[in-house]
Chain A
Amino acid sequence: MSMDFSIPAELTELRGAFADFLEREVRPLEQEYTREYWGPSLDPEAATPLISQVRRRSADAGFYAPYLPEAAGGHGLSVLGTTLLVEDAAASGMRLAMVAVAPPNPAGPSTLLLKLPAHLWSTYVLPVATGHQTMCFALSEPEAGSDAQSIRTQAVLDGDEWVINGTKHYITNGADANFAIVFAVTDAQKRAAGGITAFVVPREQYRVGQIQYNMSDSHPAELFFDNARVPADHVIGEVGMGFLEAMSFLNAGRAYIGAQALGLAEFCLTSAAEHTRSRTAFGKPLAKFQGVSFPLARSKVDIEAMRWLVYHLAWRVDTHQDALAIMGDASITKYATTEWAYEVADRALQAYGGMGLMREGPIERVLRHLRMLRVVEGASEVQLLVIARTLGL
């Protein structure tokens, strides 16, 4: 039998419907957003109501969190299908489109929530699946980033409640989320191997500290847990298994980050190619200078390589290959796509000249976002660490 690289017809059809949705419903909001956001005040919160609107519209139209099973308010879409939608959303170049599918933005429903007992789904799963609520994923701490298993936040069982104490920082959507998935140490000896537990903690149990403004357009926050209390059933999966539960969803997550990086790179390349065809210097279109066209041709090479890493990873997850066995590929994909997409964006910026640096130009925002992707969700070096391990190093 020969290898099959074709995209299933039903996914192509779904992409067509999603493209219509983006053009008809998100494009007009994006124009409004661009006017508001790039106004004299550059208000980082200006987009919040529009982002919520896109989430809900997308959920109504059937594109939000499609990877969840139907019982959880999703559509049982494959990882490959979700990957393609994430790619298309990013490739549209619209900031607001990036929330339309949910991942890799942690504000959308994490598949980890499916490990909650069924009676909690109506409280924590369905409201986020329908875009009416959002969540945040609270792992990182001031003293534990890459080395996540050295987190200090602790949870202690008190009767039939867990009591959580500690500080989280850099938590995306921390200020707006209705609840948090929080990782805390429940057995200091075992740590990653059975001593870290994931809890779902409602907003009223923790305090939001500083908003942590940064170069990207997404501003995380500090969260303080001072004797936060949750019932014993608010544990995700099993006590002590938080890390292992999270690992089992990590591979799909990396496919989604890869898809976003891929889509953004495609957007940069398409925009830059268009620009260099129409902008003239020294009497001819920029595109006619090889010094301009070759970097763009290089970018095309990177993009096609990224595409097949991403689709291949999605396929491995969809065909239920052993999660641990895929982790190397997942790290390769996260590393390659975010690093290469950043270079693609950088070359595109250069091709735009001064306009590339402008806030109202198409590339600047994307470049800042891609710079962030090289640090978050496992920095590039951490991916190399995992890859080195697969080599027995």
Chain B
Amino acid sequence: MKIAVCVKQVPDTWAEKKLRDDDSTLDREAADGVMNELDEYAVEEALRLAEANGGEVVVVTMGPERAAETVRKALSMGADAGVHLVDDSLHGSDALATSYALAEVLAARNFDLVIFGSESTDARMSVVPAMVAERLGLPQVTFAQKVDVDGSKVAIQRQTEYGYDDVEAELPAVVSVVEKINEPRYPSFKGIMAAKKKPVETLTVADAGLDAAKLGATAAWTKVASFAARPPKAAGTVVTDEGDGGAKIATYLTEQKFV
């Protein structure tokens, strides 16, 4: 079985994120880049499926040069090979463009299963897996908290507000996972050393045969018109207790519609 995992490099979850003054896109240089946390679960699930069913795991990312670190992390965890789409013209791509680029790269490589995280921590649109599936004409079984592959079928438990749904699809298919699904492994020292020898294909837009007119900030369907920093926290309300503190707090909470 040939499994692809799509991973995105995002700014460190704890870092203060900011937008660039010149083009209002996320400033990716301002903070350390890390693998999108949910994508670690996606990598883990791919590795488990490959360990259980035999097969190969290829990690795919679209992102700036330093996103190569994220590819290497997935390889250190145990993935077999990497594909890194990197090109200045990709900068500012929206979700439609990202899904176009990823879909083309995936289509050219014939995977049985494509696994995504269900959401990135920086843009949090949670749409890329569905868009990619649509572009590839493949069934999408998303928000999986459990994945089983049996012959030519993939069966998942799709997390819902009330529990889960059992959903099945024929392979090839697109899956996205939620964090309940597993506990991602940490790259081991052995894994890190082995990753150095694993193949990573670095592709430009031209290498991947993509239409540059569909990519980047100019092709985006949406534009950030303006932005402002979050206003500083307003001073709190001080309630002085003169024997009636409890009542005052209750009144305040009612006024604010907290209770």
Contacts and interface: CB of A to CB of B under 8 A. Distances in A.
Interface string B183-223: 00111111011001000000000000000000000000000
A77 B189 contact: yes
Instruction: Assign chain B's interface to a size class.
Output: 10 to 19
Contacts, number: 37
A62 interface: yes
A61 B72 CA distance: 18
B180 to A, nearest CB: 15
B158 interface: no
Interface in A67-100: 70, 75-77, 81
B189 A75 contact: yes
Contacts of B72: 13
B73 interface: yes
Nearest to B191: A62
A61 B185 contact: yes
B202 to A, nearest CB: 18
Interface string A10-30: 100110111011000000000
Contacts of A237: none
A356 B152 CA distance: 63
Contacts of B188: 17, 62, 75
Nearest to B69: A13
A62 B77 CA distance: 12
A13 B73 contact: yes
A258 interface: no
B76 interface: yes
A13 B189 CA distance: 9
Interface residues of A, number: 17
Contact of B186 (A17, A70, A77, A81): A17
A18 B73 CA distance: 13
B186 A61 contact: yes
Contacts of A16: 73, 187
Interface in B160-201: 185-190, 192-193, 196
A101 B196 CA distance: 24
A220 interface: no
Interface string B56-85: 000000000000000011001000000000
Contact of A13 (B76, B185, B190): B76
Nearest to A13: B192
A14 B76 CA distance: 10
A13 B187 contact: yes
10 contacts: A13-B72, A13-B192, A16-B73, A17-B186, A21-B186, A62-B188, A62-B190, A66-B189, A75-B189, A76-B189
Nearest to A74: B189
A386 B73 CA distance: 44
Interface of A: 10, 13-14, 16-18, 20-21, 61-63, 66, 70, 75-77, 81
Nearest to A58: B186
B63 to A, nearest CB: 18
A16 B72 CA distance: 12
A10 B196 contact: yes
Contacts of B187: 13-14, 16-17
A20 B14 CA distance: 12
**Pairs of residues from A and B, 10 with the lowest C-beta to C-beta distance, nearest first:** A62-B188, A75-B189, A17-B186, A17-B187, A10-B192, A61-B186, A13-B192, A77-B189, A21-B186, A14-B189
Contact of A81 (B185, B189, B190, B196): B189
A18 B185 CA distance: 11
A13 B68 CA distance: 13
B77 to A, nearest CB: 9
Nearest to A62: B188
A18 B190 CA distance: 14
A16 B12 CA distance: 12
B68 to A, nearest CB: 12
A20 B189 contact: no
A51 to B, nearest CB: 20
A345 B14 CA distance: 27
B193 A10 contact: yes
Contacts of B192: 10, 13-14, 17
Contacts of A14: 187, 189, 192
Contacts of B193: 10
Contacts of B196: 10
Contacts of A75: 188-190
A16 B187 CA distance: 9
A10 B189 contact: yes
Nearest to A18: B186
Contacts of A81: 189
